[in-house]
Structure 1
């Protein structure tokens, strides 16, 4: 249960202001919400399953102290990445328009590609080095789906009222806090 809760919370926060959340908003503007949600859920489940197995392999191969230190450094990197922000460029929007044959298929493909190498994928890999595999997979998948569903349902309204910069700074600060705590924990193993 701990793996689920930690993964859900971290990935939910990581997804706030992320590129795939912007993709969710763009798809929601073009298609009905349910097919978009189904497509992003399928893609997220697959990407995070891959991430969990990558993380489990790394966790088994590297001593705990170094895994914890690397996780801390990774979260500090995620903080910097979050503070920098993500944007959809014209090419991203054009690809969304060209793949409009099926909302579920288009959303699945777009989300799968958007998540490969993304900070939420890397955060899931990092979490899986230390937490239970199923809990990490379920928590990270549902955390991301919840954040993207939020983008679909209320993202437009929040975007009008809450500056993106505030969301980025808050999520980045939480990543930095997790990074520092993990780095301190790594030296406590010593």
Structure 2
């Protein structure tokens, strides 16, 4: 259950103000069809985060030892720093028109935009830490949905009301705490 809870909280906080959340707002404004957009986000996230968690788990199985735990701890600490940098959706991505409907456009766009994104990297690290692909995928997907479903429904109004700076700092602190905790565990201090 720790893997599910931690994965959900980490990704939900990290997703606030992330480019995929901005993409959800753009798609919602463009198509005005919430259900297909939400389903596209869900399926793209499941596929993307399953592969990321699997990669993390496989890396943890192959690369065992304290040095690998130090790398995972460092990756969480670096994620804390990266989380403090606000994302912006490029003008080209905003203007690009799709020949597909809302569902397929969202599915493809979310899967591709999530590649190398901080939530995907966090999912790899969580998969390595917990070595539980299913629970990590469920947690990170739930976190993505918690952050993006309101964005689809409330879009611009949400951007005006949510203090993204505070959310970024909170997410960064969470990544930092996980990284330091893992580091202290590896050093056998806690």
Taking structure 2 as the reference length, what is the TM-score of the superposition?
0.90
* Separation of aligned partners in 2, 1:127 and 1:34: 29
Q: How does 1:15-54 map to 2 (within 5 A)?
A: 15-31=15-31, 32-54=33-55
* Separation of aligned partners in 2, 1:75 and 1:100: 38
User: Would you say 1:138 and 2:125 are equivalent positions?
Assistant: no
**What is the total number of aligned residue pairs between the two structures?**
188
Q: How does 1:69-108 map to 2 (within 5 A)?
A: 69-95=70-96, 98-99=97-98, 101-108=100-107
* Separation of aligned partners in 1, 2:81 and 2:155: 23
Q: Secondary structure at the match of 2:183?
A: helix
**Structure 2 unmatched ranges of 5 or more:** none
Kept in 2, the 8 Å contact 1:43–1:111? The answer is: yes
Deviant stretches of 4+, over 3 Å: none
Moved more, 162-171 or 33-42: 162-171
Q: Secondary structure at the match of 1:130?
A: helix
Q: Secondary structure at the match of 2:84?
A: helix
Could you tell me which residue of structure 2 aligns to residue 60 of structure 1?
61
Q: Secondary structure at the match of 2:87?
A: coil
* Separation of aligned partners in 1, 2:83 and 2:153: 22
Kept in 2, the 8 Å contact 1:53–1:128? The answer is: yes
**Structure 1 unmatched ranges of 5 or more:** none
* Separation of aligned partners in 2, 1:185 and 1:156: 42
Could you tell me which residue of structure 2 aligns to residue 160 of structure 1?
160
* Separation of aligned partners in 1, 2:55 and 2:89: 28
Taking structure 1 as the reference length, what is the TM-score of the superposition?
0.90
* Separation of aligned partners in 2, 1:180 and 1:140: 21
